[in-house]
């Protein structure tokens, strides 16, 4: 009989955690395992890449509780009052007060999901999009499984993890996987009680799949010079807002190059404003989201990771597949991944990134 595994995530937008899931399930033997992916919303650029063998489900009545999960409780209470759902408003306010006293939203989320049916019959249930308080709470409270796993993809000291919630709930899991040794140690230092159930499980990257996809994907247009590549969602934690300043420094020192950014996100307008301000329209190129970025990796000169925080850089692992020289900021996982002569770790600062890039460019020339 097949073992039944449940993974729970937010959605399948193009990002590192979602790609980690795709890489992981590509290694699963579906003759032995029956896999379900439970999403809050069935959307995202990677949705089409989920194997046909994986059953996709969405959270029951998510649209009815979405606001309570994603919006501040006071906003939700006001909305409930506006439509005369007074008991709902009182409930939200009551559990919000408990959160304010305890700094732990466990009780609030348990209240939100109290009427949802339990999901039963699983051998393993995995809170894969971690740390994410709602998904952690849902897996613990609403899924019946012989074994429950919390998967951590980030440095919890830098991504705003609520330690009160984590300390209350993480010890309830049978196993906690963290994507790098450094991120694991940071987690254990914060929550010593989970030491014995926590282990490193690095994200899987299929070299064969990356190389195969690089043969069919699109690439740079009409430019044969130095191509610097950065891949990742355009979010503050990924640090791409620093790129225009670094590019300006390199240009001032006489380097001729183009810096390509693959990804989309909330800081795009900020980056565009800096590109215009620094007159870098022909130097820093925003390519948007690419579900298949691998030809860009293959044809790049240097890969640069500008993150303020990471757990394990999947994009770094992908760049290594193509044996690219790499400059990365000193984030969790970087020291485990980058040990070759053409791989440099620097501090998060324009001057440091510029120095690292210049060093690799000079090496490639020499």
Higher pLDDT, 100 or 327: 327
The number of C-alpha atoms within 13 Å of 137 and in the hemisphere containing its C-beta is 20
Q: Where are the alpha helices (DSSP H) in the chain?
A: 16-25, 62-70, 73-82, 86-102, 106-112, 133-142, 163-169, 181-190, 207-213, 243-252, 268-277, 294-299, 314-321, 334-337, 350-365
Distance, CA of 232 to CA of 263 (rounded, Å): 5
Per-residue pLDDT of 257-283, as tens digits, reads 999 999 999 999 999 999 999 999 999
**Token couple for 283:** 């130097």
Q: What is the dihedral of CA 52, 55, 61, 62, to 10 degrees?
A: -60
Per-residue pLDDT of 197-247, as tens digits, reads 999 999 989 999 999 999 998 999 889 999 999 999 999 999 999 999 999
DSSP-assigned letter for residue 118: P
Any residues with CB less than 8 A from the CB of 132 and at least 6 apart, and which? 10
pTM of the model: 0.91
356 has a pLDDT exceeding 60: yes
Per-residue pLDDT of 123-170, as tens digits, reads 999 999 989 999 999 999 999 999 999 999 999 998 889 999 999 999
Distance, CA of 216 to CA of 197 (rounded, Å): 42
Distance, CA of 208 to CA of 199 (rounded, Å): 27
CA-based angle 300:301:303, to the nearest 5? 75
Closest CA to 172 of 120, 125, 111: 125
């Amino acid at each position: 009989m097949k073992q039944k595994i449940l993974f729970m995530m937010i959605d399948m937008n193009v990002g590192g955690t979602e790609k980690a899931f795709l890489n992981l399930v590509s290694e699963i033997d579906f003759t032995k395992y029956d896999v379900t992916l439970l999403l809050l919303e069935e959307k995202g650029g990677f949705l089409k890449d989920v194997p046909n063998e994986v059953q996709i489900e969405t959270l029951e009545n998510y649209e009815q509780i979405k606001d309570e999960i994603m919006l501040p409780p006071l906003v939700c209470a006001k909305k409930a009052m506006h439509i005369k759902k007074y008991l709902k408003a009182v409930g939200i306010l009551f559990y919000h007060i408990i959160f304010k006293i305890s700094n732990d939203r466990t009780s609030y989320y348990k209240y939100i999901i109290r009427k949802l049916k339990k999901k039963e019959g699983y051998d393993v249930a995995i809170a894969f999009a971690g740390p994410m308080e709602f998904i952690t709470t849902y897996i613990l409270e609403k899924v019946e499984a012989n074994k429950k796993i919390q998967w951590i993809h980030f440095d919890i000291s830098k991504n705003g993890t609520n330690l009160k919630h984590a300390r209350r709930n993480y010890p309830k899991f049978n196993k906690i996987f963290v994507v790098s040794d450094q991120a694991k140690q940071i987690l254990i230092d914060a929550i010593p009680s989970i030491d014995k159930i926590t282990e490193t499980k690095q994200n899987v990257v299929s070299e064969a799949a990356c190389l195969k996809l690089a043969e069919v994907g699109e690439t740079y247009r009409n430019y044969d010079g130095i191509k610097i590549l950065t891949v990742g969602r355009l979010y503050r934690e990924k640090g791409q807002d620093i790129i225009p300043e670094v590019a300006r420094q390199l240009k001032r020192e006489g380097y001729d190059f183009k810096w390509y950014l693959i990804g989309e996100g909330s800081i795009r307008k900020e980056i565009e404003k800096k590109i215009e301000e620094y007159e870098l329209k022909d130097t820093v190129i925003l390519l948007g989201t690419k579900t298949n970025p691998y030809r860009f990796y293959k044809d790049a000169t240097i890969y640069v990771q500008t993150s303020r925080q990471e757990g394990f850089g999947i994009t770094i692992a992908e760049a290594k597949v193509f044996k690219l020289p790499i400059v990365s900021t000193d984030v969790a996982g970087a020291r485990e991944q980058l040990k070759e002569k053409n791989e440099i770790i620097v501090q998060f600062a324009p001057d440091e990134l510029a120095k690292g890039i210049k060093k690799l460019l000079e090496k490639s020339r020499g």
